[in-house]
Structure 1
Amino acid sequence: MAMSAVARETVFALRRQIAKIEGTLPERLQAPAGAVSDAGMAAADRTVVRRGIAVARPDAFLRTGIGRLDAALGGDWGGDLGGGLPKAALSEIHGVETRDAGAVAGFALSLASLILKPSLILKQGPRLPVLWIGTQEVFREAGFPYARGLHAAFGIEPEQLLFSEAPRLADALWVAEEAARMTALAAVILEVRGNPQRLDLTATRRLHARAQSAGRPVFLLRQAAEPEPTAAPVRLIVSPAPAGPRDTVAGPLAGSIGRPAFTINIGKSRTALPGQFILEWNPDERIFDERRIGEERAKNPVPVVSLSRGRTDPAAAPGAVLAFPTVGSPAAGDQPSRQQRAAHLSPRRAG
Structure 2
Amino acid sequence: MAMSAVARETVFALRRQIAKIEGTLPERLQLPAGAPLDAGVSADVTSNTDLTIVRRGLAAALPDAFLPTGVERLDAALSGGLPKAALSEIHGGQTRDAGAVAGFALSLTSLILKQAHGLPVLWIGTSEIFGEAGFPYARGLHAAFGIEPGQLLFSEAPRLVDALWVAEEAARMTALAAVILEIRGNPQRLDLTATRRLHARAASAGRPVFLLRQAAEPEPTAAPVRLIVASAPAVPRATITGPLAGSIGRPAFTITIGKSRTALPGQFTLEWNPDERVFDERWGEERRSEERRAGRAKNPVAVVSLPRGRKDPAAASGAILAFPAVGSPDAISPTARDQSPPGERAAHFGPRRAG
Check whether TM > 0.5.
yes
TM-score by length of 2: 0.69
Letter in 1 for 2:24: T
Query: Are residues 1:149 and 2:159 paired?
Result: no
Aligned-pair distance for 1:187? Answer: 0.4
Contact 1:65 1:287 in 2 (8 A): yes
Q: Go from structure 1 to structure 2 and tell me whether the alpha carbon gap of 1:8 and 1:172 turns closer, same or farther (over 3 Å shift).
A: same
Instruction: Map 1:309-320; keep pairs closer than 5 Å.
Output: none
Contact 1:236 1:268 in 2 (8 A): yes
Partner SS, residue 178 of structure 1: helix
Q: Go from structure 1 to structure 2 and tell me whether the alpha carbon gap of 1:252 and 1:58 turns closer, same or farther (over 3 Å shift).
A: same
Distance 2:4 2:98 in 1: 53
Partner SS, residue 253 of structure 2: strand
Contact 1:277 1:293 in 2 (8 A): no
Over residues 127-172 of structure 1, what are the superposed CA-to-partner deviations in whole Å (9 max), with x where a residue is unaligned?
1100000000000000000010010000000000000000000000
Distance 1:297 1:48 in 2: 42
Query: Are residues 1:203 and 2:186 paired?
Result: no
Partner SS, residue 176 of structure 1: helix
Partner SS, residue 221 of structure 2: coil
Q: Go from structure 1 to structure 2 and tell me whether the alpha carbon gap of 1:116 and 1:48 turns closer, same or farther (over 3 Å shift).
A: closer
Q: Go from structure 1 to structure 2 and tell me whether the alpha carbon gap of 1:115 and 1:7 turns closer, same or farther (over 3 Å shift).
A: same
Partner SS, residue 209 of structure 1: helix
1:286 paired residue number: 277
Aligned length: 267
Q: Go from structure 1 to structure 2 and tell me whether the alpha carbon gap of 1:158 and 1:175 turns closer, same or farther (over 3 Å shift).
A: same
Aligned-pair distance for 1:73? Answer: 1.3
Distance 2:73 2:219 in 1: 26
Distance 2:20 2:56 in 1: 12
Instruction: Map 1:120-139; keep pairs closer than 5 Å.
Output: 120-121=115-116, 126-139=117-130
Aligned-pair distance for 1:274? Answer: 1.0
Distance 1:101 1:25 in 2: 35
Distance 2:73 2:127 in 1: 37
Partner SS, residue 243 of structure 1: coil
Q: Go from structure 1 to structure 2 and tell me whether the alpha carbon gap of 1:4 and 1:223 turns closer, same or farther (over 3 Å shift).
A: closer
2:48 paired residue number: none
Distance 1:149 1:233 in 2: 31
TM-score by length of 1: 0.70
Aligned-pair distance for 1:232? Answer: 0.5
Instruction: Map 1:1-351; keep pairs closer than 5 Å.
Output: 14=14, 16-26=16-26, 52-54=58-60, 56-74=61-79, 83-117=80-114, 120-121=115-116, 126-294=117-285
Aligned-pair distance for 1:11? Answer: 7.1
Aligned-pair distance for 1:19? Answer: 3.1
Aligned-pair distance for 1:220? Answer: 0.3
Distance 1:102 1:20 in 2: 35
1:320 paired residue number: none
Q: Go from structure 1 to structure 2 and tell me whether the alpha carbon gap of 1:268 and 1:275 turns closer, same or farther (over 3 Å shift).
A: same
Aligned-pair distance for 1:297? Answer: 9.6
Partner SS, residue 64 of structure 2: coil
Contact 1:237 1:264 in 2 (8 A): yes
Distance 2:208 2:103 in 1: 17
Contact 1:15 1:49 in 2 (8 A): no
Distance 2:64 2:175 in 1: 18
Taking only aligned residues, the RMSD between alpha carbons, in angstroms, comes to 2.9
Over residues 85-140 of structure 1, what are the superposed CA-to-partner deviations in whole Å (9 max), with x where a residue is unaligned?
111000000001100000000000000100110xx33xxxx311000000000000
Contact 1:181 1:210 in 2 (8 A): yes
Contact 1:25 1:52 in 2 (8 A): no
- Unaligned runs of at least 5 residues, structure 1: 31-46, 75-82, 300-351
1:330 paired residue number: none
Aligned-pair distance for 1:250? Answer: 2.6
Contact 1:25 1:50 in 2 (8 A): no
Aligned-pair distance for 1:52? Answer: 2.3
